[in-house]
Amino acid sequence: KNEVEQSPQNLTAQEGEFITINCSYSVGISALHWLQQHPGGGIVSLFMLSSGKKKHGRLIATINIQEKHSSLHITASHPRDSAVYICAGRPNTGNQFYFGTGTSLTVIP
């Protein structure tokens, strides 16, 4: 069993829809990282958060450390948002991250 689980694995949305990707984890973590992997393979950092909520443009990330759950929301989705979204938890001890397997998002015009 993975320490970090994402849902859904695959998601198809119409342009303009509100999207939610969920990340839950079974270990205690001090911070959670949301990443975006483009179809070409490059990985970009979106958010690093340890509590509450962060917003950047149309992207919003929330985390509840006690409930071991984080969500990534995309408002007014656009085809350029099509990518794989990965969450990774940093445990309370150690220098490693535990990575989810990713959510593949396709936004249709």
Q: Which residues lie near another protein (CB under 8 A)? A: 2, 4, 31, 33, 35, 41-45, 48, 86, 88, 90, 95-102
Which is nearer to another protein, 12 or 30 (by Cβ)?
A: 30
**Both tokens of residue 88?**
């990774």
Contact predicate 81/38, CB 8 Å? no
What minimum distance in Å lies between the beta carbon of 104 and another protein?
10
What minimum distance in Å lies between the beta carbon of 30 and another protein?
8
What minimum distance in Å lies between the beta carbon of 53 and another protein?
17
Question: How far is residue 25 from each of residues 39, 89, 91, measured CA to CA in Å?
Answer: 26, 8, 10
Sign of CA dihedral 89, 95, 101, 103: positive
